[in-house]
Structure 1
Amino acid sequence: MAIEYQYKAKNKEGDLISGTIEAENKSVIARQLRDKGYYITEISEKRKALDVGEFLKMHKKVKLKNLAVFSQQFAAMIDAGISLVDSLNILVDQTEHRRLREVILKVRDDVETGVSLADAMAKHPAVFPQLYIQLVKAGESGGVLDRILNKLADHYDRQDELNSMVRSALYYPAVILTVGIIVVIFLVTQVVPQFVTMFQDFGSELPLPTRMLLAISTFMQSYWWALLLAFIIVLFILGRFRGTPAGKEKTDSWILKMPVIGPMMRKVYISRFSSTLAILVESGVDLLTALAIVEDVVGNKVYGEILTKARVRVREGSNLSDPLQESGEFPAMVVQMISVGEETGAIGTMLNKVSTFYDRQVEASVDGAISLIEPVMIVLLAVMVGFVAISIVTPMFDMFQQF
Structure 2
Amino acid sequence: MASYAYEARNRSGERFTGKIKAASLREAAHQIRAKGLWVANLRELEPASLPPAEASSKSSFLTISSQPSRLEVVLFCRQLAVMLSAGLPVHEALKALCQPDGSGAYQQMLSRLLTDVIQGKSLHEALQGVPKVFSTRIVSMVKAGEAAGSLDVMFLRLADFLEKSFAAREKLKSVLLYPLILGVTTLLALLGITVFILPTFAAMLSDFRAELPLPTKLLLDFSALIQQDGMVVLLCMGLLVLASVAAWHQPVIRCVLDAWRLRIPLYGRLLCYAEWQMLLGTLSVLLANGICLHEALKLLPEATNNHYLRAVVSSACSAVERGTSLWDAWHRCEAFPEVLGEMVRAGEKSGELEGMLEKGAGLCGVIAENESARLQSLAEPAAIFIVGGLVFFFALSVLLPLLGMMEALS
Residue matched to 1:27: 52
1:135 aligns to 2:152 (yes or no)? no
Is the 1:107–1:120 contact (alpha carbons within 8 Å) kept by the matching residues of 2? no
Letter paired with 2:52: S
1:311 aligns to 2:321 (yes or no)? no
Residue matched to 2:112: 106
* Aligned mate of 2:159, from 153, 156, 174: 153
Residue matched to 1:121: 126
> Following TM superposition, by how much is the alpha carbon of 1:278 offset from its aligned partner in structure 2, in angstroms?
2.6
1:272 aligns to 2:297 (yes or no)? no
1:300-349 CA distances to partner (integer Å, 9 max, x unpaired)?
A: 22222111110011122322111101324322221111122223343232
Residues of 1 paired with 2:255 and 2:219: CA distance? 40
* Aligned mate of 1:353, from 359, 365, 372: 359
Q: 1:282 to 1:151 in 2, by over 3 A?
A: farther
Letter paired with 1:233: L
Residues of 1 paired with 2:114 and 2:388: CA distance? 58
* Aligned mate of 1:203, from 202, 208, 218: 208
CA RMSD between the two structures: 4.0
Residues of 2 paired with 1:277 and 1:175: CA distance? 43
Q: Which 10-residue stretch deviates more, 272-281 or 154-163?
A: 154-163
> Following TM superposition, by how much is the alpha carbon of 1:95 offset from its aligned partner in structure 2, in angstroms?
11
Show the 5 A alignment for 1:300-379. Answer: 300-370=306-376, 377-379=383-385
Q: Which 10-residue stretch deviates more, 267-276 or 236-245?
A: 267-276
Is the 2:179–2:383 contact (alpha carbons within 8 Å) kept by the matching residues of 1? yes
1:31-70 CA distances to partner (integer Å, 9 max, x unpaired)?
A: 9xxxxxxxxxx9984588xxxxx64x1xx3774x544422
Is the 2:128–2:139 contact (alpha carbons within 8 Å) kept by the matching residues of 1? no
Q: 1:75 to 1:359 in 2, by over 3 A?
A: closer
Letter paired with 2:160: D
Residue matched to 1:214: 220
Is the 2:284–2:355 contact (alpha carbons within 8 Å) kept by the matching residues of 1? yes
Residue matched to 1:74: 80
Residues of 2 paired with 1:46 and 1:180: CA distance? 49
1:110-141 CA distances to partner (integer Å, 9 max, x unpaired)?
A: 4434x2644753653723502112313544xx
SS at match of 1:240: helix
Q: Which 10-residue stretch deviates more, 275-284 or 240-249?
A: 275-284
Residues of 1 paired with 2:142 and 2:75: CA distance? 14
Work out the percentage of aligned pairs sharing the same amino acid: 21
Residue matched to 1:39: none
Residues of 2 paired with 1:300 and 1:167: CA distance? 23
> Following TM superposition, by how much is the alpha carbon of 1:279 offset from its aligned partner in structure 2, in angstroms?
3.3
Aligned residue pair count = 355
Q: 1:277 to 1:100 in 2, by over 3 A?
A: farther
Is the 1:169–1:366 contact (alpha carbons within 8 Å) kept by the matching residues of 2? no
Could you tell me which runs of 5 or more consecutive residues in structure 1 were left unpaired when the two chains were aligned.
1-23, 32-41, 49-53
Residues of 2 paired with 1:355 and 1:213: CA distance? 51
Q: 1:30 to 1:241 in 2, by over 3 A?
A: closer
Q: Which 10-residue stretch deviates more, 330-339 or 151-160?
A: 151-160
SS at match of 2:210: coil
Residue matched to 2:302: 296
Is the 1:295–1:305 contact (alpha carbons within 8 Å) kept by the matching residues of 2? yes
Letter paired with 1:219: L
Residue matched to 2:35: none
Residues of 2 paired with 1:176 and 1:154: CA distance? 34
Residues of 2 paired with 1:78 and 1:236: CA distance? 44
Q: 1:118 to 1:387 in 2, by over 3 A?
A: closer
Instruction: State the structure with bigger RCO (CA 8 A, min sep 6), 1 or 2.
Output: 2
Q: 1:47 to 1:194 in 2, by over 3 A?
A: farther
Could you tell me which runs of 5 or more consecutive residues in structure 2 were left unpaired when the two chains were aligned.
1-48
Is the 2:301–2:311 contact (alpha carbons within 8 Å) kept by the matching residues of 1? yes
Is the 1:74–1:87 contact (alpha carbons within 8 Å) kept by the matching residues of 2? yes
> Following TM superposition, by how much is the alpha carbon of 1:91 offset from its aligned partner in structure 2, in angstroms?
1.6
TM-score (norm 1): 0.71
TM-score (norm 2): 0.70
Is the 2:262–2:272 contact (alpha carbons within 8 Å) kept by the matching residues of 1? yes
